[in-house]
């Protein structure tokens, strides 16, 4: 799954104050629901293919929200590293990314024999 940030008014590849790069392609590498202070939170894991530069908002590597989940969730999915991969809420993902592309490379999809049909919405 690929996603992208909107181009905006500034020049391409401008790093915004929130850490995201304007007009840039990213990859969605995972989703996870965690419990934070008794409330479920839907998180999206995103990777910057540059291998550096990360989201600086809620649920980022240095966010205090990371301390509100169980130690097991923190260990399993909320590791801290400057590797370009980061977590953000589903709401923030929808607010800051302009598109999400999902590709299927199944052989039966390509030859038209699949009973599954793709739909596109904008």
Domain extent listing, the chain: 2-110
State the average pLDDT over residues 70-75: 84
Q: Which two tokens stand for residue 18?
A: 């929130």
| HEC readout, 86-102 | EEEEHHHHHHHCCEEEC
What is the reported pLDDT for 41? 95
**pLDDT tens-digit series, residues 13-69:** 789 999 999 999 999 999 999 999 999 999 999 999 988 889 999 999 889 998 899
- The more confidently predicted of residues 9 and 95 is 95
Q: Strand 39-47's sheet: what is its strand order?
A: 85-89, 39-47, 25-36, 2-4, 99-101
Helix (H, G, I), strand (E, B) or coil at 68: helix
**pLDDT tens-digit series, residues 78-95:** 666 778 899 999 999 999
Q: Which two tokens stand for residue 71?
A: 């130690």
Architecture of domain 2-110: Alpha-Beta Complex (3.90)
Q: Are 43 and 89 in contact (CB under 8 A)?
A: yes
What is the reported pLDDT for 66? 87
């Amino acid at each position: 799954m690929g996603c992208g940030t909107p181009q905006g008014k500034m020049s391409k590849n401008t790093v915004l104050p929130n850490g995201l790069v304007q007009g840039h392609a990213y990859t969605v590498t995972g989703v996870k629901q965690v419990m934070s202070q008794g409330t479920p939170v839907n998180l999206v894991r995103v990777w910057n293919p540059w291998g550096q530069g990360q989201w600086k908002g809620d649920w980022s590597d240095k966010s205090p929200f990371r301390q509100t989940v169980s130690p097991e969730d923190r260990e399993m999915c909320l590791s801290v590293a400057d590797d370009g991969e980061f977590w953000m809420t589903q709401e923030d993902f929808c607010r800051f990314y302009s598109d999400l592309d999902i590709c299927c490379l199944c052989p039966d999809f390509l030859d038209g024999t699949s009973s599954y049909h793709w739909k596109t919405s904008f």
